[in-house]
Amino acid sequence: MALAIICSGGDAPGMNPAIKKFVDYVYKRNSTPWFIHDGLEGMIDGKITQATHSDVAGIIHNGGAIIGSSRSRRFYEKKYRRQAWENLQKHHIEGVVVLGGDGSYKAFDILSREFPLNFVGIPTTIDNDIYGTEYCLGVDTALNVIRNAVDNIRDTASTFKRAFIVETMGRECGYLAAVTAVTSGAELCIIPEMHFNEKAAREHLLTELQQGRRYILAIAAEGAKKTEWLKQWFKNEIQIETRVTVLGHIQRGGNPTVKDRITAFEFILNAVDLLLENKTIQAALGYEKGRFTTRPIHEVTAGRYRIPEHILNDLHFLD
């Protein structure tokens, strides 16, 4: 049986470990692994090659994805979806492992409704915003990159009487910001999911500054779109000099952590087994309550991820 793997959308640490395990395990299952290069665009353009063990030697410690990725507007035109399907047929590919997020899932859901394609999605996004899973591949590495940056910023923050705002990625989800705020002991956190209580924050911070606090650390999720507003708020309401650090795409890179490598391996084993053992499957894997789960793709794309309450309850000045 011929199986292919594709990376779609934003890259995430853990993709290369997943790609390596995919090649090794598909061969172990006496099947043939294929690469779809450059995401959906590559599938449309026929950039599909048979994978070998030498292709994946020495990649396990690298961030990014050796087969590339992309986002594709063309894919939402049926003629290009048909072209992508026909390219898969040329190589007799019967199933695809999809490393991606919500947009990737929706793209393959549409394709599988039009053509008899089997696929299994592996939640792969540092945003950690996929319904049906507590954990997405790449999140642990991203959080550790952010932790290192925040710890370094705290070193300089403690030297001067300043407020430091660190903006994290995450699109419309505040997971990265929320977990970072909790684990770094930040004084403030702003995320799209909750309202910032300005009055309570102002009273508390002014009191602490009067009692000798020398600096303030705030974490802002990009999806809240309030980073610059918060800078002005510190200046006008708290009357403290403020610096802003936008971490940007450094959060997507770096050596995958042990957790992301092991999780990548387990996701791949489950995905390949599902494709080889089911005549018809359009599903997404998840990780919930300490075990790997499988949900129909339409259930995942229709659902909405929510940050766990125990994390939200540890944040200050949000309601």
CATH number at residue 184: 3.40.50.460
Q: Indicate whether 96 and 203 sit together in one domain.
A: no
Q: Indicate whether 134 and 264 sit together in one domain.
A: yes
Q: What confidence score (pLDDT) does residue 159 get? A: 84
Report whether pLDDT(29) > 90. yes
Please report the DSSP string for 43-59 in residue order: HHHT-EEE--GGGGTT-
What mean pLDDT is predicted for residues 7-21?
96
Identify whether 152 is part of a domain: yes
Identify whether 104 is part of a domain: yes
Q: What confidence score (pLDDT) does residue 243 get? A: 94
Could you give the number of structural domains in the chain?
A: 2
Cβ-contact 114, 81 below 8 angstroms: yes
Identify whether 197 is part of a domain: yes
Q: What confidence score (pLDDT) does residue 157 get? A: 83
Identify whether 316 is part of a domain: no
Q: Indicate whether 264 and 290 sit together in one domain.
A: yes
| Candidates 102, 109, 127, 260; catalytic one | 127
CATH value at residue 281? 3.40.50.450
Strands across the sheet with 216-221, in order?
188-190, 216-221, 162-168, 241-246
Supply the range of the domain harboring residue 264: 2-138+256-305
Q: Indicate whether 54 and 178 sit together in one domain.
A: no
In angstroms, rounded to a whole number, what is the distance separating the alpha carbons of residues 95 and 271? 10
Per-residue pLDDT band at 100 (split at 50, 70, 90) = very high
DSSP 316: S
Identify whether 25 is part of a domain: yes
Radius of gyration from C-alpha coordinates of the chain: 22
Say whether pTM exceeds 0.85.
Answer: yes
Q: Indicate whether 290 and 155 sit together in one domain.
A: no
For residue 29, how many C-alpha atoms fall within 13 Å in the half-sphere facing its CB?
Answer: 22
Q: Indicate whether 221 and 118 sit together in one domain.
A: no
- Active site annotation includes 109: no
SS3 string of 232-292?
Answer: HHHHHHHCCEEEEEECHHHHHCCCCCHHHHHHHHHHHHHHHHHHHHCCCCEEEEEEECCEE
Strands across the sheet with 291-296, in order?
48-50, 32-36, 2-7, 93-100, 118-123, 282-288, 291-296
Identify whether 291 is part of a domain: yes
- In 3D space, the residue among 50, 49, 60 whose CA is nearest the CA of residue 20 turns out to be 60
Identify whether 192 is part of a domain: yes
Mean pLDDT score of the chain, rounded to an integer?
A: 95
Give the tens place of pLDDT for each residue, 130-152.
Answer: 999 999 999 999 999 999 999 99
Q: What confidence score (pLDDT) does residue 161 get? A: 84
Q: Which of 214, 233, 252 is the last residue of a domain?
A: 252
Q: Which of 252, 275, 297 is the last residue of a domain?
A: 252
Report whether pLDDT(119) > 90. yes
Q: Indicate whether 248 and 264 sit together in one domain.
A: no
